Amino acid sequence: MITANDLQELAKTHGTPLFIIDHDELRSNYAIFKDNLPRVQAYYAVKANPDPVIVKTLFEAGASFDVSSIAEFNIVYDNIKHLSEQDQHQWIWDNIIYANPIKAEETLRELDKYQLLMTFDNREEVFKIRDHAPNARVVLRLRVSNAGAMVELSSKFGASHDEALDLIFEAVNAGLTVAGLSFHVGSQTTNFENYMQAINMAALIFKEVKERGYDKMDLLDIGGGFPAPYDESVKPFSELTKRINTELNRLIPEDIKIIAEPGRFLVATTATAVSKIIGKAVRHGKLCYYIDDGVYHTFSGVIFDHCQYHFDAFKVGPTQICTVFGPTCDGLDVISMTEELPEDLQRGDLLSSKNIGAYSGATSTYFNGFPPAKVIQVNR
């Protein structure tokens, strides 16, 4: 476990801003996921944090991977490029799903040789895959409820129950192998009923497809959305998985392989940001701190992920509600307007923000000339 003293020492050694990744926490989260969902193989959603060292740690721990671009595929591929071509193909066959339902033709042509698992959710994608990646094994992504999710995905992706059978047989008639079904209940889902409804829908579609004479579907991808414990309002992971396991065991036959795409759950708690106060002012009667990190960098999740991060100070003293701004000249660069912090912090004092490992550094930029935080790997 990384202590407050450790954070301060790292800042003293490396300067700020820092993005500190704890690989012991990463391995622990992966083990918790596996222990709580024994039938489910975890395919880490690389988009949550594509740091190659994170991918390597999870690869060594036995994870599989969900990729959504050729760049993410190549990050994973770096871990197996030393293998023979035959072993590479076998590993990719078993351990990667290309889970972006809409793919560029160039990507399909590049991946065709691997007979990769990939998702689809519409007729146009069937024809595109047929023409450019006919060796792929395809998985129909279903549109399911995203109610209660922090990031809603169902308006952009997924086929309805009414469309499912026609799309599956459209793909079969196009000469493709339909390997199974997938769904995603939305990112950081706190409404556990979404999973229950989605599993029930998938079980019914499996039954309907088999009754229509197609018996090659042997995979169910239950997606991501597993919530990270950002605060006490998030129900325990064990409570969710107990319900998922009950429905899987009740509805999904043992001969169907079950996979999932955890991203946030695996990496959110693994990282801590450390920043430095570079300015202090009172605006409209309210204390404001300016730090050397912001929403264009580590705190990009405020904009892109609908996530609110909080700060801890290393000093103690009387507190008040403050605004925390990032370093750029953009008025959008507001990290928090309701942060309770000591009122006597000074320039050069440090702040930390925990549980910031997901969808943060993944979307950092160099806007306004400010570079992203330096990444520090610990417990490797």
Active site (catalytic) residues: 329
- Dihedral angle computed from the Cα positions of residues 178, 184, 185 and 186, in that order, rounded to the nearest 10 degrees: -160
Q: Max Cα separation, the chain?
A: 72
Other CB atoms within 10 Å distance of the CB of residue 279:
12
The burial class, CB within 10 Å (0-12 / 13-18 / 19+), for 166 is exposed
Return the DSSP state at 222: -
Beta strands at 219-221 and 177-183: parallel, antiparallel or unpaired: parallel
Nearest to 24 by CA among 357, 365, 367: 357
Ordered alpha helix ranges (H), 96-216: 105-111, 123-132, 161-173, 193-211
Nearest to 177 by CA among 220, 141, 209, 135: 135
Return the DSSP state at 363: G
d(CA 54, CA 59): 9
How many helices and strands in the chain, by DSSP H and E?
A: 12, 18
Nearest to 158 by CA among 169, 148, 145: 145
CB 117 within 8 A of CB 132: no
* Cα dist from 215 to 24, 90, 143, 157, whole Å: 42, 23, 22, 25
